[in-house]
Structure formats: C-alpha cells, structure tokens
Amino acid sequence: MKRALSFLLLLGICLSLCGCSQPAIPTGETISNETISKEEMASNAKSIRWNKILEDYEANPVRAASIHEGQIYKYTGTVDDFLSGNRISIRPSGTADLFSIVVTLSEGEILEISKGDTVEVIGVVEKLSQQYNTTAGVGIYMKDAYIISK
C-alpha cells in the first residue's frame, strides 16, 4: 500500500513539472528569429502605412504601443545612419525628422549595405518611443529583422 501511494505521489509530481513547462511557440508573445524562419516571417508580415503608426502614437502612445509592438511589419526606406549594436536607421523618402525606423540586423546583412541604399526589411516591432533628436516624432524599433530586397 505504501509503495503504491509513493508511486502515485511521484507520478503526480512528474506530471505537475511537465505541466509547468513553456509551450514551444508562445501564443501572443513577440516572435523571434529563433522560433520563426525568414520565410515564415515574410509570409506573416503586415503591410502598414508608417504614417498610421505615427498618427496612433501622437493620439495615444500607450494605445499605439499595445497595437503595434510585437507585430511583424514590412518596410521600405533609405538607410540613413549606422548605429551601435548592429542597428541601422531607415527613413522613408520625404519625411525629414518625423520618424525613423531603427532596425537590428545581423552583422552579415549590415556589411552588404551602405548609407543611401534603399532597402526593404521585415521585422518585429520591439518598441515605439519619442525620438531622441526631435520634439515631435516617433522612433520605431524593429528587432529580429531581415533585409528582403535592396
């Protein structure tokens, strides 16, 4: 009897540990390039007017963050600057200082581009924030990004 009770207790502990593990692909969480391939990211990327993100942010930054952060978007723009940490700044033509997209890429992809190149990237929106160099504008930060054409 004691042996059977001990076995059931051990079985219960094992099942509870299995139930506490994380799922392979978290639902509703930010997707990273470790859980989704470049092709899957491209097929899941949403096309959005970047002006829409800017309008949403100016109307309500908290709501804009809840709508856009974690989403996969596709974007075409001109390489404006190279930043630390394998990041580049991309701007759409004709927007001056309204906003920029700061994109984190692999070192290999950064080596293939130059300032002034027009590139199309896909990536996960990591955060939206007030731009550091202007009083009116928003910075859009993308991570796990890829260049899909240049």
- Listing DSSP states for 35-56 in one string gives TS-HHHHHHHPEE--HHHHHHH
Is the pLDDT at 6 greater than 50? The verdict is yes
Segment 20-51, tens digit of pLDDT: 554 443 333 444 445 677 888 888 888 877 77
Amino acid at 50: W
* Mean pLDDT, range 124-135, rounded to an integer: 71
**Beta strands per DSSP E along the chain:** 46-47, 72-83, 87-91, 99-104, 118-130, 138-149
Q: CA 40 to CA 16: how far, in whole Å?
A: 33
- Long-range CB pairs of 84-93 (<8 Å, 24+ gap) are 86/110, 88/113, 90/119, 90/121, 92/50
Q: Which helix (H) or strand (E) holds 3?
A: helix 2-19
**CATH classification code of 37-149:** 2.40.50.140
pLDDT at residue 22, rounded to an integer? 43
pLDDT at residue 27, rounded to an integer? 37
Is the pLDDT at 58 greater than 90? The verdict is no
pLDDT at residue 3, rounded to an integer? 80
Segment 67-126, tens digit of pLDDT: 999 999 988 888 988 988 889 888 876 555 566 788 899 889 999 999 999 998 898 999
Q: CA 5 to CA 28: how far, in whole Å?
A: 40
81 vs 2 pLDDT, higher one: 81
Is the pLDDT at 144 greater than 60? The verdict is yes
